[in-house]
């Protein structure tokens, strides 16, 4: 049991008073950073990186790891409470978390998010502990065709679920795809779709701008219309008994949690994917496989559980390519990677051999961070609920300001604020006309990844589409995706047969 010994050694490091203190502090800071729209774990880790020179490298990465973890928990909070994704990874949590809050089930949604995060985190850390080196080979086996097949699968889960109006879903996906193409052509490097020659389009349309516009601004407009100013926020009270009841209710979602955890972890270890696509895919699959898929987007707790389990699992997963291959699986791990270079550690295949203390100290600290983040999160839930009890006339301006902050943060550009307002109006109209909006968000996240991997594959195969089917991994995923895509067709045919 070499791994067990190493892990115990890791715990001996992680549970030293300084490191333990940093874990608790990091979780709390992370929770706050994650909950603030526009301040994601990327910003948090980047801002606090210089602080880590005061402590040894292992303590430094433990601290940053705890922030990263805390932020994954925190992201769900503003998604649920305010309808603004607190971080890119929590966009999918908004889909059902916000409707739950509006129905007075905010406490249940928050407990569900925290629990799912804990389960996702725990499963992924165990997987990380046991299978880190072999899984690094899986990451290596994924070339462009495999990545593209995975993207097709992700899109298929969003279309092939039935329930939603399929032409409208397509429409929503295409809107997202068009905006994802704005900016720079990834192969030729030429600018494209620079509307009105505005320089702000050079950096493309950041998907947070779209998500915050549609969900944050659109939400305010929608609420104003529906309520004509008289918003009654149903009062949710939090008691220990209430939390216990929520936990029991969550037992029913075990399957979804497990699915989200494994999927999230797996997507997380693929370089360049990261937690955001992972959580969106988990949402899509939860919806596709649910018996009650129509209730998704209207406050189904499984729609909270799936993405939250997935984004925590993916955040652990994305540490794997960072440590073993030196490639960040997410923007935050990119900054962590920079930190490791500063501390004089060389990420790569030899890190696990040459710096055992560092690696296992980090892994052990993730176990601790996961637990503390859960406890801190649950402890703060009453405070979050209190925020919800504020009158809408006070809450709406706060949400509005947070939207602006969140829209400005990714690119520091006023251009994106105006764009966000436009998306807000579009989001409001889409909601009025009953178009699903989640597919648009999915498309703008996955669009660039899909385009890049498809074009790379086709350059490599000189235009031969068979490259996606000839390779065992990509072929399997591709066929799965196509079957999923055709599923609604089968449903329609069956329904017709049943009618005659």
Q: Which residues bind to other proteins, rule: CB under 8 A?
A: 38-39, 42-43, 46-51, 53-54, 139-144, 183-184, 186-191, 199, 202-204, 271-272, 321, 325-328, 331, 334-335, 337-338, 341-342, 346-351, 401, 404-406, 408-409, 411-412, 414, 417, 452, 456, 459-460, 462
Instruction: Look up residue 66 and give its two tokens.
Output: 């705890």
Q: How far is the CB of 328 from other proteins (least distance, A)?
A: 5
Contact 61, 339 (CB under 8 A): yes
Q: What angle do CA 104, 110, 111 make, to 5 degrees?
A: 110
Nearer to other proteins, 165 or 346 (CB): 346
Q: How far is the CB of 169 from other proteins (least distance, A)?
A: 29
Return the residue matching tokens 């520091």. 412
Q: Which residue, 48 or 90, is less far from other proteins as judged by CB?
A: 48
- Please say which residue, 401 or 483, places its beta carbon nearer to other proteins: 401
| Dist CA 150 CA 155 (whole Å) | 9
The C-alpha atoms of residue 13 and residue 392 are separated, in whole angstroms, by 48
Residues in the chain: 500
Minimum CB separation from other proteins for residue 408, in Å?
5
| Shortest Å distance, C-beta 459 to other proteins | 5
Tell me how far, at minimum, the Cβ of 189 lies from other proteins, in Å. 5
Closer of 279 and 467 to other proteins (Cβ): 467
Q: In this complex, which beta carbon is closest to other proteins, that of residue 39 or of residue 151?
A: 39
Helical segments of 292-391, H only: 302-317, 319-325, 331-342, 351-354, 356-388
Of 131 and 418, which has the nearer Cβ to other proteins? 418
Question: What are 192's strand-pairing partners?
Answer: 183
Do the Cβ atoms of 378 and 77 come closer than 8 Å? no
Check if the beta carbon of residue 343 is closer than 8 Å to that of residue 62.
no
Helix (H) or strand (E) holding 346: none
Tell me if 286 sits within 8 A of 300, measured CB to CB: no
Closer residue to other proteins (CB): 138 or 371: 138
Q: How far is the CB of 352 from other proteins (least distance, A)?
A: 10
Dihedrals φ, ψ of 84, to 5°? -110, 125
Query: Could you tell me the smallest distance in angstroms from the CB atom of residue 378 to other proteins?
Result: 26
């Amino acid at each position: 049991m070499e791994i067990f010994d190493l892990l115990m050694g890791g715990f001996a490091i992680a549970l030293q008073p300084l490191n333990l203190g940093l874990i608790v502090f990091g979780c709390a800071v992370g929770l706050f950073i994650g909950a603030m729209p526009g301040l994601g774990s990327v910003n948090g880790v980047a801002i606090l990186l210089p602080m880590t020179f005061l402590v040894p490298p292992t303590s430094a990465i433990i601290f940053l790891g705890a922030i990263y973890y805390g932020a994954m928990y925190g992201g769900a909070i503003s998604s649920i409470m305010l309808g603004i994704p607190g971080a890119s990874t929590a966009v999918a949590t908004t889909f059902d978390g916000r409707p739950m809050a509006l129905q007075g089930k905010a406490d249940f949604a928050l407990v569900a998010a925290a629990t799912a995060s804990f389960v996702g985190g725990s499963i992924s850390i165990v997987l990380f502990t046991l299978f880190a080196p072999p899984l690094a080979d899986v990451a290596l086996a994924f070339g462009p065709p495999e990545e593209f097949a995975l993207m097709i699968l992700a899109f298929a889960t969003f279309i092939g679920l039935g329930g939603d109006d399929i032409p409208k879903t397509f429409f929503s996906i295409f809107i997202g795809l068009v905006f994802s193409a704005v900016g720079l052509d990834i192969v030729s490097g030429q600018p494209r779709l620079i509307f009105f020659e505005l320089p702000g389009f050079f950096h493309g349309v950041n998907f947070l701008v779209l998500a915050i516009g549609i969900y944050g601004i659109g939400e305010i407009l929608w609420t104003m219309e529906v309520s004509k100013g008289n918003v009654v926020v149903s009062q949710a009270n939090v008691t220990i008994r209430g939390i216990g009841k929520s936990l029991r209710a969550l037992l029913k979602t075990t399957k979804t949690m497990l699915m989200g955890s494994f999927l999230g972890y797996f997507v997380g270890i693929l370089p360049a994917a990261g937690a955001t696509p992972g959580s969106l895919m988990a949402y899509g699959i939860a919806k596709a496989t649910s018996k009650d898929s129509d209730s998704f987007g209207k406050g189904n707790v499984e729609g909270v559980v799936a993405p939250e389990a997935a984004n925590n699992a993916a955040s652990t997963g994305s540490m794997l390519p960072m440590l073993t291959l030196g490639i960040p699986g997410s923007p935050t791990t990119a900054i962590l990677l920079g930190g490791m270079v500063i501390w004089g550690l060389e990420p790569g295949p030899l890190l696990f051999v040459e710096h055992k203390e560092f690696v296992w100290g980090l892994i052990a600290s993730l176990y601790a961070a996961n637990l503390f983040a859960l406890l801190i999160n649950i402890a703060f839930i009453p405070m979050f609920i209190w925020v919800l009890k504020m009158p809408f006339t006070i809450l709406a301006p706060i949400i509005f300001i947070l939207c602006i902050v969140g829209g400005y943060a990714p690119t520091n550009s006023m251009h994106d604020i105006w764009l966000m307002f436009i998306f807000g109006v579009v989001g409001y109209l889409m909601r009025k006309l009953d178009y699903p909006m989640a597919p648009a968000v999915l498309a703008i996240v996955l669009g660039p990844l899909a385009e890049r991997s498809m074009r790379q594959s086709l350059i490599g195969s000189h235009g031969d589409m068979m490259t996606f089917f000839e390779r065992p991994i990509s072929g399997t995923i591709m066929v799965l995706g196509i079957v999923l895509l055709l599923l609604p067709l089968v449903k329609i045919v069956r329904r017709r047969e049943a009618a005659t």
